[in-house]
Amino acid sequence: MSPADTPRPHRPLAKNKRAFHDFEILDRLECGIALLGTEVKSLRNGKVSLQEAYCRFDGKELWVIGMNIPEYSHGNKQNHDPTRQRKLLAHRQELRQLHARVTEKGLTLVPLAIYFSGALVKLEVGLGRGKKRHDKRQDLRKKDDQREMDRARR
């Protein structure tokens, strides 16, 4: 395996930490995203929010809704709408499988992270099941216990 074949780590522009708190992530999918030029420029400045975003199927197409990419500061009157719906790009077979799983009871699609992969913008989408309140408490307890163990080792 040559160095060119090894995957390069990507630094996320934004992560949706709330998704990991509210959902149990069962599966992940990396999708491309159809963007306008001013949106890409705004992303290169590191401006994006995934907090209120979710994904939905409209027919056979997958869309991300509620993702906020602020207007580009040097844009003109043709600047983009910050919260417009954006189409996600994935293979047809992946979309079919995902659509079949989403129709199951209690599963939803949430955006987890957005990042550059070379010159392309990618969105990591997670298939999640909503957590109950006691599940959230259990996760918080595990994190606290892990922190205590890490402190004890030092």
% pLDDT > 90, the chain: 16
Q: Which pLDDT tens digit goes with each residue over 78-114? A: 777 777 888 999 999 999 999 988 887 778 899 999 9
Q: Please give the pLDDT value at position 8.
A: 52
Strand partners, 116: 121
pTM recorded for the entire structure = 0.75
Q: How far apart are CA 49 and CA 4, in angstroms?
A: 32
Q: Identify whether the C-beta of residue 64 lies closer than 8 Å to the C-beta of residue 34.
A: no
* pLDDT class of 9 with cuts at 50, 70, 90: low
Domains and CATH numbers, the chain: 13-153 (2.40.280.10)
Q: Identify whether the C-beta of residue 114 lies closer than 8 Å to the C-beta of residue 121.
A: yes
Query: Would the pLDDT of 2 be above 70?
Result: no
Structure tokens at 125: 């989408």
Amino acid at 13: L
Q: Which pLDDT tens digit goes with each residue over 135-150? A: 778 888 888 888 988 8
Pair type for strands 86-89 and 61-65: antiparallel
Query: Would the pLDDT of 64 be above 60?
Result: yes
Q: Cite the DSSP H helix spans in the chain.
A: 17-22, 37-44, 92-102, 133-153
